[in-house]
Amino acid sequence: MVPTSPQDVQPTLTARRQLWLYVALFALILLLGAAAYIQTILPLLIAGAIVAVSFFQVLSFRVLFLLLLLLFFLISPAIPVSEKHFSKPISAGGFFLQDAVLVLLFARALFDYFNAPRTLTLFRPTRLEQIFALYVAVNLASAVYGAINGNTPTYLLGDVRDFLYFLLFWVYLHCFKSEADLDFAFNALIAVGFIFAAISLADDLLIRNFVRYNSGISFLLVASTLALLSKIFTERLSIKTPSTLIMLLVMLAGLFITFTRGLYLGFVAGFFVMLFALGLKRSFKLVLTLGALVLGVLGVMLVLGISFDRVIAQATYRGSSALGDLDVSSAERILEVLAVLDELPNHWLFGKGAGATIAVYRFGDANVKEGIVDWWFIHNNYAQVLHKSGVIGLLCLLALWLSALTIAFRLFQRATSAVARQVLLSATGVLTAYMVTSLTSPVMTYLNTNFVSALLFASIVFFNRLERAPLRAHIRLC
């Protein structure tokens, strides 16, 4: 790898000035959070100021990525206002505050790309990059077809916006200069996830009396927790250290209060795939350790007077009293899949296009009346892709994720550096978790998780490039 100095990364920033930028960023986050409860226009004006200032190269990629994490986790969660959460969305006209940072990341990458000196160093695209490009082409075609098909513009634009976060894959590849950049990204994911889990626990236990807490953002917490576990498994952190143990317990408790069975299943699947990658010799001890921690979390919940019956009720029952003991959550998901399969013969090859809806039966909640509604959000991710992009779209989705998983697993077995082993093990676990969770929630194509999925894919390609051409693996700086 070509050596570089800190001046190569940020030629206009000293270490002290960059530290003050992080302090200012934290103050900005607090200001945005406070402003969200006063009026919407002020946070948007501040976001516009950030965009303007950034063109003078004040904000680095690292700062922007950290800002994106903070906005998704803490300040502007892309969830319905009716869901339990300590913050309400900061949005205007269907766009969230983090969308400004998304545009800024693309603008920053393009600005640096066109102003960087041209070099003759070329990369032959890896297999994962080629599949990713094919997946992008299929989704663009789906968006065009959705527009031609007359799909609802609001839903169409929403699907396109969600997919733009997935395209951060190319921004990450452009900005990742060395392993230190990936190390920062995953450390930031862990740290912000811990803060989110701690605030969520305090809000749910002290204010909301232990109700089913939002899982729309907690899918990000799955990635944070598995990333922390990978750092422990690769011996970059010791679970015997009190701070590490507290972080893990808080994050596990944060996952627990979501009462989302699909999230639980995905997390457990990702955990065991990580153990499989590590090998059988270490797995038994790690299983016992995590099992003891989970039992500890459950024990604390029982001490607080939270019964298993209440846990089960929170995880399954979300209807009116007239529904009795019906498992509303599962019933609605089954009905959605059946509706997709019923319509599939009419558009099985290419689907109905981005923004497509489907008539399904909803039992009713704070936003929807009970009965047949024209629904746009299919909880089974595979059924949703099949409905909107057809068999071709589903095959491309599976090819992309399965290829990424197998490549990450293979690279992990050969990796020697501590950072590479941690990042690749994280990717292996999180990709598995998201694929399993997508049976009940569409996290493989979800607004709140796409930017993290893009991070995983870019990390895999980064280390794949290093393996293929270590002497030419220098990536242009951001």
For 344-403, the DSSP string reads GGGSTTT-S-TT--EEEEE---SSS-SEEEEE---SSHHHHHHHHHHHHHHHHHHHHHHH
Q: Which two tokens stand for residue 192?
A: 């912000």
Total-model pTM? 0.83
What is the Rg, in whole angstroms, of the alpha carbon atoms belonging to the chain? 22
On the question of pLDDT at 104 being above 90, the answer is: no
Task: Compute the mean pLDDT over every residue in the chain, rounded to the nearest whole number.
Answer: 81
Mean pLDDT of 77-93: 78
Query: Which residue would you say has higher pLDDT here, 161 or 287?
Result: 161
Got the DSSP string for 155-207?
HHHHHHHHHHHHTHHHHHHHH--SHHHHHHHHHHHHHHHHHHHHHHHHIIIII
Contacts of range 2-11, beta carbons closer than 8 Å, 24 or more positions apart = 2/474, 4/177, 4/178, 4/474, 4/477, 8/477, 9/60, 9/177, 9/477, 10/60
How confident is the model at residue 85, as a pLDDT? 84
How far is the C-alpha of 30 from the C-alpha of 20, rounded, in Å?
Answer: 15
Give the C-alpha distances (Å, rounded to integers) separating 165 from 19, 132, 203, 259.
27, 14, 29, 27
pLDDT band at 308 (very low <50, low <70, confident <90, very high): low
Asked if the model's pLDDT at residue 54 lies above 60, the reply is no
Check pLDDT > 80 for residue 125. Answer: yes
- Residue 321, pLDDT > 60, answer no
Comparison of pLDDT for 321 and 451, the residue scoring more: 451
User: So what's the pLDDT on residue 388?
Assistant: 95
Cα–Cα distance for residue pair 241/153, rounded to 1 Å: 52
C-alpha count within 13 angstroms, C-beta hemisphere, residue 286: 22
Residue 420 backbone dihedrals phi, psi, to 5 degrees: -60, -45
Asked if residues 442 and 377 have their Cβ atoms less than 8 Å apart, the reply is yes
**Cα–Cα–Cα angle for 232, 422, 29, nearest 5°?**
85
Q: Is the pLDDT of residue 345 over 60?
A: yes
- Spatial separation of the C-alpha atoms in residues 378 and 387, rounded to whole Å: 9
pLDDT (0 to 100) of residue 60: 79
Note the pLDDT tens digit of each residue in 163-204: 999 999 999 999 998 999 999 999 999 999 999 999 999 988
